[in-house]
């Protein structure tokens, strides 16, 4: 048995076995789009590998005494659905591009660009665009505590009087 047959070529051989057991062969796109056989038609992977290893052709390629790969390390289940942009790839996302902004408090401050995507910090002017009326309404006066402005409104109703006592109500 040569080194090449004992090395990477053997792994490719087992991968082809697992893919053919699953009912799909070829590229990733072909495996995703193929119609899988029902459970009644599909043979378990370990039974198919055992039958292939006992065939005379497999005995020539695989040396005796070499470990048989487990069914968990074979086939399309090996990439755990992480080859696309969808559900499987979301588990790989563990780096943060945005952090909390010290001006608006939202998680919109881009770490590498050092700018907030929501309020525009560290720019002096607050980020605001008229093409997004709903976003302006979320950030406008009256949506927060208005610690000072509500006192001004009360004083305005009374004519901004100072140094006088309130009239007693009868």
**Nearby residues of 47 by Cβ (< 8 Å), 6 or more positions away:** none
Q: Above 70 in pLDDT, residue 63? A: no
Mean pLDDT estimate for the chain:
75
Least confident of 72-86, 99-113, 123-137, 151-165: 72-86
Over residues 6-51, the pLDDT tens digits come to: 555 555 544 455 545 455 555 565 555 555 555 555 555 555 555 5
pLDDT of residue 146: 96
3-state secondary structure the chain: CCHHHHCHHHHHHHHHHHHHHHCCCCCHHHHHHCCCCCCCCCCCHHHHHHHHHHCHHHHHHCCCCCCCCCHHHCHHHHHCCCCCCCHHHHHHCCCCCEECCCCCCCCCEECCCCEECCCCCCCCCCCCCCCCHHHHHHHCCCCCCCCCHHHHHHHHHCCCCCCCCCCCCC
Two tokens, residue 43: 């043979």
Q: pTM of the full predicted structure?
A: 0.46
């Amino acid at each position: 048995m040569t080194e090449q047959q004992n090395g990477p070529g053997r792994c490719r051989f087992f991968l082809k076995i697992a893919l053919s057991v699953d009912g799909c062969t070829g590229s990733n796109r072909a495996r995703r789009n193929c119609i899988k056989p029902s459970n009644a038609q599909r043979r378990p992977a370990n039974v198919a590998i055992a039958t292939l290893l006992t065939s005379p052709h497999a005995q020539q390629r695989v040396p005796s005494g070499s470990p048989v790969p487990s069914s968990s390390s074979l086939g399309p289940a090996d990439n755990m659905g992480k080859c696309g942009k969808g559900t499987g790839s979301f588990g790989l996302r563990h780096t943060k591009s945005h952090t909390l902004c010290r001006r608006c408090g939202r998680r919109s401050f881009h770490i590498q660009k050092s700018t907030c995507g929501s309020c525009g910090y560290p720019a002096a002017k607050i980020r605001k665009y008229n093409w997004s009326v709903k976003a302006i309404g979320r950030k406008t006066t009256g949506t927060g505590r208005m610690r000072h402005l509500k006192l001004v409104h009360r004083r305005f109703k009374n004519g901004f009087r100072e140094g006088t006592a309130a009239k007693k109500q009868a």
